[in-house]
Amino acid sequence: MIRMQRDEKMIPYLFLFPYLFFFVIFFIYPIGFSFWLSFHKFRGYGEPVFVGLKNFYRLFSYSKFWVTVGNTFFYVIAHWLPTIVISFSLALAVHESAKAVQRIAKPLIFLPQVIATVSSAMIFRIIFAKNSGVINNLLGTQIGFLSDPDWMRWSVVIMMVWRAVGWFFVIFLAGLTLVSKDVEEAAKIDGAGFFRRTFRITIPIMKNIFMFTFIMEAKSTLMVFVEPNILISGGMSAPLRVKPIASILVDNVRNGYFGQASAAGWLLFLLVFLVTIIQFTLFRGKSERGTNK
């Protein structure tokens, strides 16, 4: 009897085996190999040479590394608020609108997410061009969106917001279904206006949705690469003023410094991990304080 029960416990694992097999081959093994590689000098051929922490030291002492860290955090912070505000506002508006409007609005708002990032970046290069760009032609100006140091990073942020709004919109729209109509009606009856209901009822109920979006967006923004590189420099190495951390990884891969590229990848992973932990702690901290009340 006991043996039969044990046999039955094995069955789920047998079904999981094919997935686990590929998971180990295509995920765990590459992760382990890249970690091992980060302590070696290897150009893709010949024998890897053990260099200890030299790759990490080279990254930390790379004068441009901290500039790229600053650029990356700029992108995270600068694009976060506009994205959240615009997408949440759109979600609220669409949620309240008629079905016919929703049918048109939802795919339109989500459309930027469907367009490949590289294609979007190339289109925005034309939109932002100084002499021949759409914006400058409409305004009759010659603003160097892609060449003026004061504008370059903001151009990247604008494009990132444009792309991200659709994804957040869909998440928030789904999250709004968590807010019970009865609660809203009760609040209306009590005299709560739109903003009060939104900030005191809707947003607190959707707190886990917000946490999810913050964490996912921070993670993907910390790994940004395409927008700054394609938008500003058309695929060539981006100028330092807009370069994100991921560019260091890609530059090292392109030039065959795989050990250093692996080290950059692991540093990036640690950064994402730390930011995620901080976000979890902040959100959990607030939630616990809320429950303790």
Partner 1 sequence: MKKKLICFVVATLMVATASLFATGQSEETSESGNKEPTKIIWLKKGGLGSTKERIKILNETFPELMTRVEILPQSGDPHSIANNLRLALASGTEVPDVIQLSKVQLIEFVKAGVVLDITDKLKAIEDLLLPSAYDLGFIDGRAYGIANQVKTKIWYYRKDIFDEMGLDVKDIKNTDDFIAAGLKIQTKYPKANMWNFGPSIAHYNLHLITSGNGARYYDKNGEYIVASDPGTRQAFVDMKKMQDAGIIADVSDWTPDWEQAFMNGEIVSTLQASWFNNGYLSKWAPEQAGKWAVALWPNIAGAAGGAGSAQGGEVYAIMKDSKVADLAWEVLVALETDPDTAYKLSAARGVDPINHAAYEKYPELLGHDPFYENNYWEVYFEALKVHKELPSDANGAKEHIIMNEFLQEWLFGSYDTVDECLAAAEAELKNQIGNALEF
Interface residue list for partner 1 (CB under 8 A) = 7, 10-11, 14-15, 17-18, 21-22, 43-46, 58, 61-64, 125-126, 129-133, 144, 146-149, 152, 232-241, 251, 253-257
Strand positions, DSSP E, 29-78: 40-41, 49-50
Provide, rounded to whole angstroms, the least separation between the CB of residue 145 and partner 1.
Answer: 10
In 3D space, the residue among 100, 89, 86 whose CA is nearest the CA of residue 194 turns out to be 89
Nearer to partner 1, 97 or 237 (CB): 237
Yes or no: say if 268 and 246 are a contact pair by the CB < 8 Å rule: yes
3-state secondary structure of 107: helix
d(CA 104, CA 218): 29
Q: How far is the CB of 126 from partner 1 (least distance, A)?
A: 5
Closer residue to partner 1 in complex, CB, 123/211: 123
Q: Looking at beta carbons only, is 7 or 182 nearer to partner 1?
A: 7
Contact 228, 72 (CB under 8 A): no
Provide the greatest CA pair distance for the chain. Answer: 84
Q: How far is the CB of 28 from partner 1 (least distance, A)?
A: 16
- Measured from the CB atom, the residue of 44 and 52 that comes closer to partner 1 is 44
Return the number of other C-beta atoms located less than 10 Å from residue 216's C-beta: 14
**Closer CB to partner 1, residue 88 or residue 258?**
258
* CB 205 to partner 1: min, Å: 43
- The least distance separating partner 1 from the CB of residue 70, rounded to whole angstroms, comes to 14
